[in-house]
Amino acid sequence: MQCFYAPETDLHDPIFRLTNGKIQRNAERAERARLLMAGLEQMGLSTETPPEAPRSTLEAVHTEKFLAFLETAWEEWQKLPDCGPEVVPQVFPKSEVATYPENIVARAGWHFGDTSAPIGEHSWAASRRAADCAVAAADVVLGGAPSAYALCRPAGHHTSADIAAGHCLMNNSAIAAARLRTGHARVATLDIDVHHGNGTQEIFYDRADVMTCSVHADPSDYYPFNVGHAHEVGRGKGLGFNLNIPLPRTTTDEAWLAAIAASLEAIAAFQPGALMVSLGLDAHENDPLLGMKVSFDGFRRAGEMIATAGYPTVLVQEGGYLSPDLTTSLASFLSGFLGREG
């Protein structure tokens, strides 16, 4: 299986994070890549550096205003008096009557849903190259490979067409799904990150050609809180093509795997030509964000189930945070997915 990783993504190493009113170190650290690379090495998999994807692949998902903001925000932020080292929003316009702002402070609030995805000096380059990894993996599968993996940092599935959030900048998963759509009439997405893939859902919510499925911790008491409920089933042409399966934070292997099986059953009825998996590993019992209690064997079995479904599949890395177990979680999933020992 071809795997893609861009060293430039390590340059994104954010500092700021606000949790329950307390400033903490951001969880989306560059060290995550080292732990994930170790998991690939355990499986005997090497990585390739992706080519730069056409900007049109980003514009298939994101607005031009949003992309321009990501590209220029840090330099403009540096012109502010006594500015901090990262772009962190401090105002969030909520009014239905609002004019797109020119001021960088206001634009930060316009394009961010929360404070957890600060933009540093190299964040644009990193997020651009993360998207390149997702596109390269999709292109390999479009070319006939049964599967490919994209080691993307920063993550992406909380970002909508023009609002970044939840440690995410560009939505790499949605970009990969949209790229697969260029070669298939229907594409399905399966998000097994412990957090609901709210950005991916919003991007495809009105569409009948991309089905979105997400298995995640119940948002009634877990991020992203206000979206990810079972009654969200799509809108307009997309009605019936969005599936959410929220689970308690006490969930262990059997209930989690049953939800994945139910998602795969719905996907089979949809009959997609290809599958994009948002591969979050933060449902593990020792992940520091404490969302669920899935074991290494649970990840192995999930990989096996997804591979058995038989679709051309792109795996896009999402969450999974700083713990030595992150390495083993990835190796466990891939051992099941590839049908061999980790």
Angle at the Cα of 310 from the Cα atoms of 217 and 302, rounded to 5 degrees? 30
Residue carrying the six token digits 């560009």 = 170
Taking the C-alpha atoms of residue 53 and residue 48, their distance in angstroms, rounded to an integer, is 14
Active site residue 158: yes
Which of the residues 158, 167, 184, 216 is marked catalytic? Answer: 158
CA-CA-CA-CA torsion sign (15, 19, 21, 22):
negative
Q: Between 104-111 and 64-77, two packed helices, what is the crossing angle to 10 degrees? A: 130
Taking the C-alpha atoms of residue 302 and residue 334, their distance in angstroms, rounded to an integer, is 9
Q: How far is CA 206 from CA 60, 106, 183, in A?
A: 15, 29, 20
The CB density around residue 35, as the number of other CB atoms within 10 Å, is: 21
**CB neighbour burial string for 293-303, b if at least 16 within 10 angstroms, e if fewer:** bbbbebbbbbb
DSSP string covering 98-150, please?
-----SHHHHHHHHBSSSSS-B-TTHHHHHHHHHHHHHHHHHHHHTT-SEEEE
* Cβ neighbourhood burial of 242 (10 Å; 0-12, 13-18, 19+): buried
Taking the C-alpha atoms of residue 241 and residue 223, their distance in angstroms, rounded to an integer, is 23
Catalytic sites, residue numbers: 158
